[in-house]
Structure 1
Amino acid sequence: MSQTNQLISTLNEGAVLQVYVDGCLVHAYVVVSEPNIDRVADIVPQERFDADGDIHVMAVGQPQDASAMIDDVSQNLNAEDTVVFLCIDHATKDEVLKQFGINAGQAHHH
């Protein structure tokens, strides 16, 4: 079976993905948000908090940081974990999506 990253759904300012990071299938929330840990509860549904796995939060300050941030978090991920990327602006969010092979156009909320 091929390990393909996929867009699960869109949010107001972002997207929910199912992605493979170092062979682990994880949920990723990629959103435009100020780097505020309190925002995570507004973004991630309760069932993700209740599920097995940890929740990792990454603040991405500029598009060129996206690849390094994904590399950093991948060192600590296990299957069924959730990672939240709080991106400072749309360009940064689009770059994180691109790193996962998701076209930003696919992830626009309709």
Structure 2
Amino acid sequence: MTGQYGPNRGMANLSPRQDRMFNNLDKNNNGTIDRQEAQGNPSLSRHFDAADTYGNQAITPSEFAAFEAHEQESGNNQGYGPMSGQSEPPREQQSPTSGGNQ
């Protein structure tokens, strides 16, 4: 079975940010991200089968790069989470008048 990221799976150039993300997810340092390791990235975990274009139950750097490219193109890459260095999305600032009688 090939996933929807198949056409890009030969791409292996990770940005420095993507390289950090990949290495942080690859807890056993074997050069791939397995299904359990992917749980550290909610989007990758949800789309693991589609990202695993080789169908070997592991995400390679090239598969990860293709997945990340797809996420950015589709606007799903939020830029926050445990791998980005930001623990949560920016909070909206409330004005002093919000929440009161107007």
Band the TM-score falls in, shorter-chain normalisation: under 0.3
Give 1 or 2: higher helix fraction.
2
Find the structure with the greater CA-based Rg: 2
